Structure 1
Amino acid sequence: MNEIISGEKILVTGGAGFIGSNLCEVLLDSNNTVVCLDNFATGKQENIAPFLKHPKFSFIQGDIRNLEDCLLATKNVDYVLHQAALGSVPRSIKNPITTNEVNISGFLNMLVASRDHHIKRFVYAASSSTYGDSQALPKVEENIGKPLSPYAVTKLVNELYADVFFKTYGLETIGLRYFNVFGKRQDPNGAYAAVIPKFVKQFMQLESPIINGDGTFSRDFTYIDNVVQANLKSLVASSTSVNNVYNIAFGDRNTLNDLVVYLKEYLAIYKPSIEKVPVIYGSERVGDIPHSHASIQKAKKYLNYQPEFSLQKGLQEAVDWYWKNL
């Protein structure tokens, strides 16, 4: 991974979460001072447990919905990697008010705190859900549709606020539209678990996973190391890259049926009987986008983003991690 940032003080909001904890780990390994802000709503203490004794790591248990917590966390910080959010389309449909409070009000608090403490650059987790009902493939940053869920609305508003804060206050912002991120430390449990860790756990227990729909919906599954690379490169990219959003994906798409085939193949290495576990097909989920496939040309050009992990390569890494840790 080229252009690793080093010797800086960096705040990772949501740092005890799946993506955030992976960012903390790599930043510490690269000799940065890391501040982690998390309220453990979806993050987990065990994700940051290995870092707590690190001399350059500090943890603040706080909530981005509280401006005072955001101001405390951004004090004397050089850069912000804002990962804190309430994810999940189904969760947002069930509880749009809380999703709005965290993802919009919390986001605005972080922008205000970053402005007030003169943060050099604010890099934030945007989402492929912003493409909404646009049927164009591959997804190109400048061509979005109407949001299909409250979650998608919140992530679109994030992009609008980031643009305003750059133009009004000069705060450098970069948004990274993540596409179906997966990998180590992603939680397989709970009603809103992502499909890959959930399916991995079910297969390991010889349980049949349920696919929403007929399995032909497709996604641009993106391994965590690709996402970490994009965040780090966003911190050091030239000033011509700021006030922009970028697709962060592998730039390919696989159906859910494809995913099941790969998972069975890689898991059967550890337990051959997994190959024979049948899959159940259920109803489609409300708010789901049928197909997702990213153009990553813009990120390659402006961020020098070079994803190294395909779905298959990433799944092999993830399956190995889950087998050792579940």
Structure 2
Amino acid sequence: MEKIIPTAVYFIKLGEAGEWEQQCLSDGTLRFGYHKTPNSLCVEGRWGDVHDIWLNMRNSRKAIATNDVRQIKTFYTAGVETVFITFYGGFLYWCRPAGQVEVLEDGSRIRKTVEGWKKTSIGGAQLTTDHLSGDLLKVQGYRGTICNVSAYDYIVRKINDEDLSAVSAAKEAEEAYLIAMKNLCQLLTWQDFELLIDLIFSTSGWRRTSIVGKTQKTLDLELELPTTGEKAFVQIKSYANAGALSEYEKRFRETTAYKRMFFIWHSGPLSESIKADGITLIGPDKLAGLILDSGLTRWLRKKVS
């Protein structure tokens, strides 16, 4: 999909209290109220007459009537070069309007869109609200129906999968740091590697209940998640290949004592992308990310320095 360069970005509420959201997102349509506005005046572009109508409805409150007409005109005249956004179910949705306005039986207005509503960027990244800036999200508090989005540059970059130069630099620095973390893990003694894994799990809520077995290069742990009582079996190895995983997967399948198994290693040819029901693989790449997220990078540096 080609990058978008919209002339404007608008936020739209799909019905009072979101009553049209599900239908519009499913059908790929835009829907708008202002039922009492004569459609013919809007089609003919007689916005002065539309303003007079709403000025009368608003008891001569000019500012309110002007805002009403602005929203109506935007819905009718916005073309494919513009973008509409809305929020639903923890996602940002966006679309481009297309075609003429149609009047439904209840008096509301509807428009089709170019390719329906999308909740992903052009590259397929999900646009979840927990990863959007507060400056953009505050538009949800708008009390009307349609408004201009002031965070234009931000939303266009999100849809186009583009980062600010500062963000790109931070990503590059983080990638280099993660590589360093992977290398440092290989310098740990077996005892320190065991302690590192224990610290990672403890920061995420898991609690060690026992050590099942221990040799020079392998360690079996039992963990429990206190909030749910879920028990897990953990296999820690310095070096791992497919044969090692197969051996411990067999042990995991033979018991009903554990709901989950974690298989963790810092070196070896085993792929982290292997899928196995009930088993979580944590190899060098994922391990480095967990170290960073757990705030254990300084601890790791000091252990090997």
Mark yes or no: TM-score above 0.5.
Answer: no
Q: TM-score, normalised by structure 2?
A: 0.25
TM-score, length basis structure 1: 0.24
Q: RCO higher in 1 or 2 (8 Å CA, sep ≥ 6)?
A: 1
Instruction: Identify the structure with the greater strand proportion.
Output: 2
* Structure of greater Rg: 2
